[in-house]
Structure 1
Amino acid sequence: MAEVWDAVVVGAGIEGSATAFQLAKNGCQTLLVEQFPLPHSRGSSHGASRIIRKAYVQQHYAQMMKEAYPIWEQVQQETGTQLYMKTGGLMVAPSSSQQLDQTERSLAGAGSEFEKLISDDLKLRFPNLSFPADYRAILDPEAGVLKADKALRCFQDLFVKYGGRIRDEEKVVRIDPGDVVTVHTSKSTYKTHRLLLLPGPWAGKLLAPLGLQPPLEPVRISVLYWREKQPDTYALKKGFPVFVDHTIPHKYGLPSLEYPGIYKLCFHSGPVIDPDNRDGVAGSHGNQAIVRMMCDYVRKHFPGLESVPAIQESCMYTNTPDEDFILDRHPQYRNIIIGVGFSGHGFKLAPVVGKLLCELAMDKQPSYDMTPFSLSRFHNTATPQAKL
């Protein structure tokens, strides 16, 4: 008889890897399946850096981040790898911003420290930024930078340490639900009591044959790097914070890290694309418009940067309409668990996401209210023609 796994996790991005780690740590015989050779840059979890912060509009994320920080610290200690660099986080917006008001309420509700800055404070503390007099800011003292590539590798290494096995270069081609789920890949077939699907931008393609069509949009993000006119103007070693402009759509920045003397500043949106053709015509045209817009933004607000990007890369988000995650069971198959739609802000929360999905898979009471993450909040997510 073929081996039956306690759990199979599909997708070895940060969410899938953190989930597989939690399952293995909790004693589940777990297999992690990834369609691309590891490591790779074709999904949403590659790159050297991500922002970590407690400052969230949604209080459920502000609460979850209180637990995420200690788990990140545990991963650092267990692997002997520095993943988190504290810089502080500057969240700016016009004084009338309801998003900034709600972020203050969320931080206060979660018992997290923060500092309010009026326009004069902003100019005094950050003279290399230029914002109108009607702007204000929040300073999140615990915000900082996560070393993304290293974080991903750490979760995978810990997963293997706890007995998990990884199979990369295996694309899932069919899933047969049942009390024991059968997962067919391009190379093999696996049987499992629990299947956890964390396929990133490929979620729509994988869920449709299972009768689900949640409102997910894979988008191409232009990751832009800008050369400093004077070295270290916006450098991490000079104490420059991570940055979020809360005017919609958001812009976000990270101090110079990946490339010496070059600042990472991006637009938190992009054109909808096919994840198997993210650099196609639609993505390329959308990228050009975003670069022009960001050049203008840099000229207005970051006078210490050259106003033409020095380096352009790309990434993908998978967005839900409300930008809340989907963390739920399949409505017809309790042993199929879904984690999708991380909307470009899931990386920092991956340790808690992994814990929650592990709890669902093991039929434990979730540590948090799962209502914001329910699949049922979206209507008509079933695919009528699918044969289940």
Structure 2
Amino acid sequence: MIPKMNQFDVAVVGLGALGSAAAFHASLKGVKVIGIEQYELGHVRGASHDTSRIVRTSYGEHEYVALAKSAYKDWAHLEEKCGQRLLTQTGGIVFFPENGTMSARDFANSLTANDIPYELLSAQEVNKRWPQFNIPSSVTTVYTADTGIVHAARSTMAMQSQARANGAILKENTQVFQVVPSVGSRGGVIETSNGPFFATKVIIAADAWLNKLLAPLDAVIPLSIMQEQVSYYKPTDMASFEQGHFPVWIWEDEPCYYGFPTYGEPTIKAARDVANNFMTPEQRTFVHSPQLLKELTEFMAHLVPGKGQVLRTVTCQYAITPSRQLVISSLERYDNIFVGLGCGQGFKFAPAIGRILAELAIDGKTDDDISKFGIPKLERTTSKI
């Protein structure tokens, strides 16, 4: 028999950005909430640490634009609750090379469908407005003024702090071994290194460790897990790369690259998205790849000639499905167990995904359209890593 003090309405497994958001929003509903994290809060082993993350509505699929639009409201709500400014709007541009993997038309159509203002710019217009770039004449660009930056570590900490302020219990350094659905009840037992806990509803936001918990529940998701890296450069003419003079940018092609203006320090940040540096969490070296850094620096030398010298490179981790689809869903066999997965692009959506997961768990429904974000149909295949 599990003691009453260890019985909860909602348990959240994994307290990165998505799990912390789910714990925060569940706590707002006045239910008894426990959040469980296998490492210390704010650890660097996942994808919710370090500083800047891009927030944007510019996507080529209208469902993502709609979810991002909701997330802006949730970011504002979080800022109001915690009394901090977390989101800084800088404006952002997405570059579409000729014959690239995506088109400016798809982005423009999705933004139009969601009533998001944007500008369609030629290479000449981009180079004139932001002479820091060197854009080939064949590139088309979409500009959205609402694009911005959130501070990753500070935002995750704010959600954790607010969850605790609302009565949630957050346990760090507590490993979850298994989630066991209770026979004859709507709940489940969470077996951990600090003993068992019972919860009526369970939200799993364990990212790269997700399949270890889903496998016993007959719901394995095909995942590729890889170590990613971002690099910080120090331009000589720092003033031209400050917010207001230089936007967030994305080179939408294969490979895809992205970057930031200065944010909290005299550097600019850039990275390749999806580096395919495959490994398991246990195999991670936390040592960056010199080859990936070389490729990034060569790309930056052409796109942003005034980038300056690289100062440091920091690693993080991606866990992505084959289509890189977000997952916001209950399990097929257990409708009291829910999964949230950001697939390396989830931070911008984090407060919305957390709210939706809390709504599904507590209210049994959400007004947001999440029909696109179900469990991938290959859920019972073996994961890639």
TM range (shorter): over 0.9
Equivalent of residue 256 in structure 1, options 245, 254, 262: 262
Gaps of 5+ in 2: none
Q: Offset of 1:169 from its aligned partner?
A: 0.5
Contact 2:130/2:245, CA 8 A, preserved across alignment: no
Inter-partner Cα distance in structure 1 for 2:283 and 2:348: 27
CA offset at residue 380 of structure 1? 5.2
- CA distance, structure 1, for counterparts of residue 225 and residue 335 of structure 2: 26
Deviation at 1:276, TM superposition (A): 2.3
User: Who is 1:386 aligned against?
Assistant: none
Are the aligned partners of 2:98 and 2:138 in contact in 1 as well (CA < 8 Å)?
A: yes
* 2:55 and 2:149 in contact (8 A); partners too: yes
Aligned to 2:16: 13
Are the counterparts in 2 of residues 218 and 319 from structure 1 also a CA contact under 8 Å?
yes
Name 1:112's counterpart in structure 2: 116
Q: How many residues align?
A: 374
SS in 2 for 1:193: strand
Deviation at residue 363 of structure 1 after TM alignment = 4.6
CA distance in 1, matches of 2:51, 2:378: 37
Match of 2:274 among 269, 272, 276: 269
Give the structure 1 partner of residue 206 of structure 2.
199
**Contact 1:215 / 1:378 at 8 angstroms: preserved in 2?**
no
Q: Offset at 1:248?
A: 2.1
Question: Where in structure 2 are the equivalents of 1:59-78 lying within 5 Å?
Answer: 59-78=62-81
Q: For residue 199 of structure 1, report the CA deviation from its aligned partner.
A: 0.5
Percent identical across equivalent pairs? 26
Q: Which amino acid aligns with 1:66?
A: K
1:243–1:253 Cα contact (<8 Å) kept? yes
CA shift for structure 1 position 104: 0.8
TM-score, normalized by length of structure 1? 0.92
Q: 1:229 offset after TM fit, Å? A: 2.4
Deviations 1:269-322 (A, max 9, x none): 121211123217xx75xx23311211210111111013x522011011111111
Q: Deviations over 1:2-21 (max 9, x none)?
A: 12210110011010011111
Residue of structure 2 in register with 1:131 after alignment: 135
- Partner Cα separation in structure 2 for residue 358 and residue 198 of structure 1: 12
* Alpha-carbon distance between aligned partners in 2 of 1:380 and 1:96, rounded to the nearest angstrom: 33
Do residues 30 (structure 1) and 37 (structure 2) align? Answer: no
Distance 2:370 2:69 in 1: 17
Residue 362 of structure 1, CA deviation: 2.2
Give the TM-score of the pair, scaled to structure 2. 0.93
- Listed as ranges, the matches of 1:18-167 within 5 Å are 18-97=21-100, 98-167=102-171
Mapped to 2, the partners of 1:195 and 1:382 lie a distance apart of 23
Q: What residue identity is the alignment partner of 1:264? A: K
Aligned to 1:177: 181
What SS class does the counterpart of residue 233 from structure 1 fall into? helix
The 8 Å contact of residues 100 and 246 in structure 1, kept in 2 or not, is answered as: no
Give the aligned partner of residue 319 of structure 1. 320
User: In structure 1, what is the Cα distance between the partners aligned to 2:76 and 2:45?
Assistant: 27
- Which of the residues 215, 223, 235 maps onto 1:216? 223
Report the CA distance shift for 1:323/1:277 in structure 2 as closer, same or farther (over 3 A): same
C-alpha distance 258-205 of structure 1, shift in aligned 2 (>3 A): farther
Alignment-derived partner of residue 232 in structure 1: 239
SS in 1 for 2:310: coil
Cα distance in 2, alignment partners of residues 5 and 59 from structure 1: 36
Provide the secondary structure at the position in 1 that maps to 2:372.
helix
Instruction: Tell me by how many angstroms 1:231 deviates.
Output: 2.1
Give me the whole-angstrom Cα distance separating, in 2, the residues matched to 1:295 and 1:213. 37
Number of the residue aligned with 1:335: 336
Shift of 1:120: 1.2
Report if aligned partners of 1:327, 1:357 keep a CA contact under 8 Å in 2: yes
Judge conservation of contact 2:94–2:250 (CA < 8 Å) in 1. yes
Which sections of structure 1, spanning at least 5 residues, go unmatched? 384-388
* In structure 2, C-alpha distance between the alignment counterparts of 1:191 and 1:214, rounded to whole Å: 25
Instruction: Please state whether the residue corresponding to 1:92 is helix, strand or coil.
Output: strand
Alignment partner of 2:239: what SS?
Answer: coil
1:205 deviation in Å? Answer: 2.1
8 Å contact kept, 2:233–2:311:
yes
Cα distance in 1, alignment partners of residues 235 and 135 from structure 2: 18
Secondary structure class of the residue paired with 1:155 = helix
CA distance, structure 2, for counterparts of residue 156 and residue 193 of structure 1: 21
Please report the RMSD computed on the Cα atoms of aligned residues, expressed in angstroms. 1.7
SS of alignment partner, residue 275 of structure 1:
coil
